[in-house]
Structure 1
Amino acid sequence: MSNNPTQKTFYSINGNTQKLDGGAMFGNAPKALWQRWVNVDELNRIDLVCRAMLVIDGDKTILFETGIGAFFEPKYRDRYGVQESQHVLLDSLKEAGFSHEDIDILVLSHLHFDHAGGLLTQWEEGKASELLFPNAEFIVGQEAWERACNPHPRDRASFIPGLTDKLEASGRLHLVSNDSSDLLGADYSFYVSSGHTPGMLITKVETIQGPVAFAADLIPGAPWMHLPITMGYDRYPESLIDEKRALLESLKEQGGKVFFTHDPEVALGEVAVNEKGKFFADQPLKKVVRLSM
């Protein structure tokens, strides 16, 4: 942890959107509870985004994740509720004044397709997908990498065949097994969470206004800040709750914020606790554009 963090500029970069089953996203919470927080369609699906975080830190342009992207062929795009055929992340980067070629460092919390699919080119009939971000160094946790290379039957469908081969062949893959990376520097530290998937990296970015945690699937959106709320996709929900509590208590003590990957309404929120002791996202922002911290 840096004692004198540098000022950084933050952006939220939206990728492709999804509609997924609300029951799966809220685990063992009853629909009577979770439908208070989100809209649900006739197929019991809720709206989700796949949001990346872009940080300008001096001469470094750092992207956290890439969303689901547009690599799926149509039948799988429909199966997983992906709403757009074009690669939305690339459009959003352009809107913010950037290109995928501008990214110097790309941090991947884990390699599930809704967080890493945006690494690949848009699907085209008869054409193999290719790796984007030609100038980026890729950071992945060692344990998350091993899981992607040797998935369990429970989550094998969550990984993209051949993606690890492409990342390794790039010559720009960096596997980390501790709480920091020399590429990123002292203002960036990793909190490892395994409740959702083994070795998921939660990156905490130190700013002059307190830390910002890129929460990935530990806390996919503001409703999941409530400690008992987990996803049906989580491998060890009880462990995830303990990990979530530790992170949120630390952020609260430090005046920190959480960046959400999947919440369509909240990109960034301050960690706060209400009169009942429940964590919530205070001062929520739906979009982050050139936010200096």
Structure 2
Amino acid sequence: MQLWSLIGNSQRLDGGAMFGNAPKALWSRWIETDEQNRIPLACRCLLAKDLDGKNVLFETGIGAFFEPSMRERYGVVEDRHVLLDSLADAGLTHEDIDAVVLSHLHFDHAGGLLAAWQEGQGPSLLFPKATFIVGAEHWERAQHPHPRDRASFIPELCGLLEQSGRLELVDGAHSDALGQSVRFSYSDGHTPGLMLAEVGGVVFCADLIPGRYWVHLPITMGYDRWPEKLIDEKRDFLGDKLVRGIKLFFTHDHACAVASVTRDERGRYGTADEMGELKGWEVA
């Protein structure tokens, strides 16, 4: 099996929103803002090539489904579907993907399921052969969102996934489509039923830990629905990955794809062995 980090469409979002109640005097040491106080964010996906004979894509990023005014509102940088280019660099097309694992269905993680926006045309699914794997608890949230996060969902997406006939809802550690090769755990601090996938010694951190700076326990996002619970979940998650030597895969870190977990003498978590990309990383 090979692991690849694939870049999707990138974003620029308000730094204050991304760092929650942390003051700008702190987080501005880590990352620069533009004139609108926005910071650069990746929407990075993980590809497992030949995982038990399957090509498995973990998330799809934000994609290019937004019409131009919404693309501007949400700071999406590119107007083409960048993930399709990244798949081509890995020698694949979206038609070669056998399964797509979605940590949750917020548009910056699931929008890449959809074809790029075209005037006069409604949304349509890509990945015609893939099983779409979603956590059962989060599926319920997506169908009945709270006013706090309703705008984070794509209204048509649940219906399209159901109509595909290739939707699998998961509520345990493993899925039928992927068997024992992928292990799932769950978190509720960002959104109910966030599903975290572990494969080949790497865990997809999704929005539990968007990037290196959020490894620090007190740092959460303004988008998190339950920050105190998220901090507790993050502490348990990082402790487990440190003990077992599991690497962290970051979806939103603009410069770092993968890192190891560290903990100093004061008990503060951090990262080491940072890698900007994975390109055919062999896993036994």
**TM-score over 0.5 for the alignment?**
yes
- 1:241 aligns to 2:231 (yes or no): yes
Q: CA deviation at 1:58?
A: 3.2
1:204 to 198, 202, 211: 198
Find the counterpart in structure 1 of residue 156 from structure 2: 162
Name which of structure 1's ranges 270-279 and 41-50 shifts more when overlaid on structure 2: 270-279
CA deviation string 1:202-238 (max 9, x = no partner): 0112x3xxx3110000000010001110000000001
Residue 33 of structure 1 aligns with an amino acid whose one-letter code is: L
Find the counterpart in structure 1 of residue 60 from structure 2: 66
CA deviation string 1:137-180 (max 9, x = no partner): 01000111111111111100000011000000000000011121
1:20 to 10, 13, 18: 13
Q: CA deviation at 1:182?
A: 2.3
1:277 to 256, 267, 275: 267
> Secondary structure at the residue paired with 1:67?
coil
1:185 to 169, 179, 198: 179
CA deviation string 1:76-122 (max 9, x = no partner): 00000000100000011111111101100110000000000000000
1:44 to 14, 37, 44: 37
CA deviation string 1:245-282 (max 9, x = no partner): 11110010011100000001100011112343221221
Q: Matched residues in 2 for 1:145 and 1:243: separation?
A: 20
- 1:261 aligns to 2:251 (yes or no): yes
Residue 124 of structure 1 aligns with an amino acid whose one-letter code is: Q
Q: Matched residues in 2 for 1:129 and 1:95: separation?
A: 25
Find the counterpart in structure 2 of residue 75 from structure 1: 69
> Secondary structure at the residue paired with 1:220?
coil
RMSD of the TM alignment (CA)? Answer: 0.9
- 1:225 aligns to 2:219 (yes or no): no
Find the counterpart in structure 2 of residue 4 from structure 1: none
Q: Matched residues in 1 for 2:230 and 2:116: separation?
A: 33
Find the counterpart in structure 1 of residue 104 from structure 2: 110
Name which of structure 1's ranges 184-193 and 15-24 shifts more when overlaid on structure 2: 184-193
2:188 to 170, 191, 194: 194
> Secondary structure at the residue paired with 2:176?
coil
Overall identity of the aligned pairs, in %: 59
Find the counterpart in structure 2 of residue 136 from structure 1: 130
Paired residues of 2:123 and 2:156 also in contact (CA < 8 A): no
Paired residues of 2:13 and 2:41 also in contact (CA < 8 A): yes
Q: CA deviation at 1:64?
A: 0.3
Residue 43 of structure 2 aligns with an amino acid whose one-letter code is: C
Query: Following TM superposition, where does structure 1 have runs of at least 4 consecutive aligned residues deviating by more than 3 angstroms?
Result: none
- Structure 2 segments unaligned to the other structure (5+ residues): none
> Secondary structure at the residue paired with 1:290?
strand
- Structure 1 segments unaligned to the other structure (5+ residues): 1-7
Paired residues of 2:12 and 2:41 also in contact (CA < 8 A): yes
CA deviation string 1:45-82 (max 9, x = no partner): 00001000001213111000000000000110000000
Find the counterpart in structure 2 of residue 88 from structure 1: 82
- 1:214 aligns to 2:208 (yes or no): no
Residue 129 of structure 1 aligns with an amino acid whose one-letter code is: P
Q: Matched residues in 2 for 1:250 and 1:178: separation?
A: 18
- 1:120 aligns to 2:100 (yes or no): no
Find the counterpart in structure 2 of residue 53 from structure 1: 46
